[in-house]
């Protein structure tokens, strides 16, 4: 679908779910996960083990692998397809869209609270978000195939913005990303085109290398 401005709209949802925030999923302030996207500390002690042993929700047999092989695709500027918009509602009903950040580089990370690799990569994403905050780089979450209450509990009081994609429909429409594959990350260039795809957990240095190249591209 085209938005009338030459940009492909790959996903739009308007779910309204109210306030779904709940106490920390790991029990106690010392075990609570908080994204460091605005400079807060991110504490993960014991959380990945808890989710590995006791999933928050029952996942059907067709669910995504929680530890897929990492695949990184770097797309040269000349080969990037038309710009696209990833959009939908947050769990509290707030509409979010990559279009809000036109002219910025946007990192969209698909994650779930029950997915250990998703949780384990949070510090890398948080560090990168903090390091590139003044370089025109924005981070947006896509909470897919998840219980929104569990997701809100995991994030706690964090201000990290994430689209509610509980049925995985938005994730399934992102070009080049296998349906139901978590975690997955795409980086949109300043024109809103997919420049980088990372299928599987982000590894140290991957985001920095990709973002340095994109930041250096001519405006």
Instruction: Give the predicted TM-score (pTM) of the model.
Output: 0.72
Dist. CA 91–CA 161, nearest whole Å: 10
Dist. CA 133–CA 215, nearest whole Å: 12
pLDDT digits (tens, 9 = 90+) for 78-88: 999 999 999 99
Residue 179: is it exposed, middle or buried by C-beta count within 10 angstroms (0-12/13-18/19+)? Answer: middle
Per-residue confidence (pLDDT) for residue 216, from 0 to 100: 97
- What phi and psi, each to the nearest 5 degrees, are found at residue 167? -95, 0
CB atoms within 10 A of CB 181: 19
Dist. CA 81–CA 211, nearest whole Å: 19
Per-residue confidence (pLDDT) for residue 201, from 0 to 100: 94
Q: Mean pLDDT, consecutive 10-residue segments, the chain of 219 residues?
A: 54 36 31 33 30 32 42 94 95 94 97 95 92 96 95 84 95 93 97 97 94 95
Domain at 8-216, CATH homologous superfamily = Glutaredoxin (3.40.30.10)
Dist. CA 95–CA 126, nearest whole Å: 22
Dist. CA 98–CA 178, nearest whole Å: 20
Would you say 123 and 204 are in contact if contact means Cβ atoms under 8 Å apart? no
Per-residue confidence (pLDDT) for residue 10, from 0 to 100: 56
Per-residue confidence (pLDDT) for residue 160, from 0 to 100: 84
pLDDT digits (tens, 9 = 90+) for 166-217: 999 999 999 999 988 999 999 999 999 999 999 999 999 999 999 999 999 9
First to last CA, the chain: 26
Per-residue confidence (pLDDT) for residue 5, from 0 to 100: 56
Per-residue confidence (pLDDT) for residue 12, from 0 to 100: 46
Residue 208: is it exposed, middle or buried by C-beta count within 10 angstroms (0-12/13-18/19+)? Answer: middle
Dist. CA 51–CA 119, nearest whole Å: 9
């Amino acid at each position: 679908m085209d938005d009338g401005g030459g940009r492909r709209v790959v996903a739009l949802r308007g779910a309204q779910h109210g306030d779904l925030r709940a106490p920390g999923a790991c029990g106690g302030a010392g075990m609570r996960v908080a994204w460091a996207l605005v400079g807060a500390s991110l504490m993960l002690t014991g959380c990945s083990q808890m989710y590995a042993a006791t999933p928050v929700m029952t996942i059907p047999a067709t669910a995504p692998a929680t530890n897929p092989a990492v695949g990184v695709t770097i797309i040269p500027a000349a080969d990037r397809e038309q710009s696209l918009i990833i959009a939908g509602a947050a769990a509290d009903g707030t509409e979010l869209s990559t279009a809000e950040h036109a002219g910025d580089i946007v990192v969209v990370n698909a994650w779930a609270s029950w997915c250990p690799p998703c949780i384990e990569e949070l510090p890398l994403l948080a560090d990168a978000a903090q390091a590139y905050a003044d370089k025109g780089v924005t981070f947006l979450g896509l909470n897919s195939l998840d219980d929104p209450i569990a997701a809100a509990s995991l994030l706690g009081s964090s201000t990290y913005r994430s689209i509610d994609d509980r049925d995985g429909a938005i994730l399934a429409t992102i070009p080049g990303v296998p349906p139901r594959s978590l975690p997955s990350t795409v980086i949109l260039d300043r024109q809103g085109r997919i420049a980088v795809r990372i299928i599987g957990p982000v590894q140290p240095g991957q985001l920095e290398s990709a973002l340095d190249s994109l930041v250096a591209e001519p405006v």
